[in-house]
Chains A and B, each alone.
Chain A
Amino acid sequence: MDIFKLRKDKFADFLASLGGYKLFAPQKVGESIRFAPVTDAGKVELALANTTVPPKSIFFPQTETLYRYALGNTEMHPPAEGEAGVVLGVRPCDARAQVIVDNLFSWDVDDPYYLERRKKIAVVGLACNKPCVNCFCLSVGGDPASTEGLDLLMTELDDAYLLQPLTEKGEKLSQAVAAVAEAAETGDLDEAEKLHRQAREKINRKVETDGIPQKLPGLWDDALWQNTAASCLGCGICTFLCPTCHCFDIQDEVEGIDGRRCRMWDSCMFKEYTLHASGHNPRPTRRERTRNRINHKYNYFVQKFDVIACVGCGRCISFCPVNIDIVEILRQVKEAR
């Protein structure tokens, strides 16, 4: 597949050439950076650190209506079919996360809402030239220039982006931009390689994950969980901002006679998550909930799908209000006897 070089001053033209698609890219929403529909090319923020909210919100929105209904009537009105789209500027860790989450949404039952979006929305990645202090993707099978889950990889060079199509969808996109981009030269490819290598060297956080899935069951009653959970506030930051966390709740919301059945992100860190109708709660304290969060990512998911459900993006570390640090927890798991 042909590799292109897009000069930065042609970036707006590049976005315009994708006019046939619904386009999402990192932008400032309120005070934070997150993926949002593009209405103005000038508002796209690619130079900043990774988004606060991961792009999972495009494929698995925080709230979505499964169908609408009217009280006293059995007709269900599903939402209109989604449009073809492109999500641009996805970091390689977040793209990998989506591939990991695909396992879940196509497991026992195919989830039509999620899978349709996955099929229709192309993922254009942006290699991480400047990993953040809490990135540890290299420890969990990722890479700052990983191509897993991407249709096209962009690498930021000095005054241009290198566009490497990786799939048929990516090839189609790169043809659309051919008019505004030029063919890449060998020197550009070497430059991108060099940047990828330098990015790898900048990642300081490391954890040895070998053996962790096997070790976790034996640590079920270890003091580690109580010690970690002591400071936990039980909020949803670590799970909501996690690119692989995928739990949801389903609620019927009725206003007047108009009802909607919707699903929304849920968090295993909430007390209510496992609360039974009887009042019994099998995970009664934050100790059990913290243990579950780590076990789900590094044990249960590995047993079921043979992949760790953590991509090392570091968001749970950076945003935890009380400095609960998953790399520290994993280190303690490794060292526990």
Chain B
Amino acid sequence: MVDVEKLKKIARETISRDDVRCLIGWRQGSYGFRAAPHFVGKPEEADQLIFSPLCSHNLATYLTLAEKLPVPRGQEPDTRKVALLVKGCDSRAVVQQLVEQGIRRENVLVIGCPCRGVVDQKKVEAKYPDMGAAVTADWGEKTVIFNLPSGRVEAPREEVLAGKCMTCRYPNPLLADIEAGDAVAVWGSDEYTDVREMEAGDPRQRWLFWEEKFSSCIRCYSCRNVCPMCYCEDCILDRLNPGWVWRSANTSENTAFQLARAFHLAGRCIECGECERVCPVDIPLMKLNRKLTKEVREKFAFEPGTDPESKPLQASYRPDDKADFIL
């Protein structure tokens, strides 16, 4: 469990260090059940930090999203660390970024926040509709507590937590320079039942399912931009010559886009579920990513983002790698 007051104290101390540029955490959002990423540059800004079931955002994205502008002549680049608050799933993103050398270990200071699950906005908004005022939340024993304007309510966690949290095996950060709280018990297990159900279905029905989902994509690229593992500076989707994927939003191009993204995440997706959370048209993207995650686990016994000493899947050949699927 994370004591928020202790977390704020850690944050104040961290941001006061000479070798830390900024600290990224969460604060209460502007309405309803929303939290927002919070960028702390001064010790007093740490007072707004929260850690609650509303903290869905995987902040590891900001490690690679930062824009690198040319440093003006005569100035030195800012090489100070970015301090980052991470939940268990978020920590896997940091590990995988390190494994891929997308970030450097000395540039990041990880503050681990053991997590008991974050809410699914859609579930909560359906349960407590029309919430204009900002609502704070906390964890109960097996519940989530909301402080609604009308009073405190407690909901069973199954009813309000995100699907990914129900099967979470890594609630405790796998990498942390500073621990913000004691480890929490693992209560989920993941048998990939959703993927198995999809695999068992009729291929024609499956295609109709995805065709409908992909045709509704509006190509806003929020799934790509929010993804902590989508950090290529030159993305294949932005290329015009050759244009691997046309800009036209139609079933064919949208499918090419979504499948290209899924394949580029094979053996890299750390299952934080951010792509699915942000999709404005509710495409169940994690069904795709989890299919590939399951394949990678079964075929290569590899789970990305769990071991800082590992090599990227595609860069690690073993003579006993299964090859029975190669024609």
Chain A residues near B (Cβ < 8 Å): 29-32, 34, 52-53, 62-63, 132-134, 204-205, 227, 230-231, 233-237, 240-241, 249, 251, 253, 262, 264-265, 267, 270, 272, 284-286, 317, 319, 321-325, 327-328
Contacts and interface: CB of A to CB of B under 8 A. Distances in A.
Contacts of B37: 230-231, 322
A236 B132 contact: no
A325 B36 CA distance: 10
A251 B281 contact: no
Of A31, A317, A321, which is in contact with the most chain B CB atoms at under 10 Å from its CB? A321
A301 B61 CA distance: 33
Contact of B61 (A134, A233, A272, A324): A233
B283 A264 contact: no
A62 B249 contact: yes
Given A31-B216, A235-B226, A240-B218, A323 B130 contact: no
Contacts of A272: 238
Given A31-B213, A328-B30, 9 more contacts: A30-B216, A30-B282, A62-B249, A134-B132, A234-B225, A235-B278, A236-B219, A240-B220, A321-B278
Nearest to B131: A133
A32 B280 contact: yes
Contacts of A319: 280
A52 B280 contact: yes
B218 A204 contact: no
B134 to A, nearest CB: 10
Given A204-B132, A230-B37, A236-B221, A134 B31 contact: yes
Of A230, A267, A323, which is in contact with the most chain B CB atoms at under 10 Å from its CB? A323
Given A31-B282, A235-B226, A236-B219, A323 B30 contact: yes
A262 B248 contact: yes
B250 A63 contact: yes
A262 B238 CA distance: 17
B310 to A, nearest CB: 28
Nearest to A132: B130
A253 B244 CA distance: 11
Contacts of A237: 220, 222, 278, 280
Contacts of A284: 67, 69
Contacts of B281: 29-32, 34, 52-53
Contacts of A262: 248
A52 B281 CA distance: 7
Interface string B101-120: 00000000000000000000
A29 B216 contact: yes
A249 B247 contact: yes
A47 to B, nearest CB: 14
Given A234-B225, A236-B222, A251-B246, A30 B213 contact: yes
Interface of B: 29-32, 34-37, 39, 57, 61-62, 65, 67, 69, 130-132, 212-213, 215-216, 218-222, 224-226, 238, 240, 243, 246-250, 274, 277-278, 280-284
Nearest to A266: B247
- Chain A interface, >50% SS class: loop
Nearest to B278: A321
B280 A233 contact: no
Given A30-B215, A253-B248, A321-B226, A133 B132 contact: yes
B260 to A, nearest CB: 17
B39 A231 contact: yes
A235 B247 contact: no
Contacts of A264: 247-249
A28 B281 CA distance: 10
A129 B31 CA distance: 21
Contacts of A241: 218, 220, 280
A230 B280 contact: no
A160 B246 CA distance: 46
Given A231-B36, A264-B248, A285 B278 contact: no
Given A231-B36, A236-B221, A63 B69 contact: no
What are the 5 tightest A-B residue pairs by CB atom distance, in nearest-first order?
A30-B216, A31-B282, A235-B222, A321-B278, A236-B220
A235 B277 CA distance: 14
9 contacts: A29-B215, A31-B213, A32-B281, A34-B216, A133-B32, A231-B62, A236-B222, A240-B219, A284-B69
B30 A321 contact: no
A62 B217 CA distance: 11
A233 B39 contact: no
A265 B284 CA distance: 23
Contacts of B218: 53, 62, 236, 240-241
Contacts of A205: 132
A264 B217 CA distance: 14
Contacts of B274: 321
A134 B31 CA distance: 9
Contacts of A233: 61, 65, 222, 225-226, 278
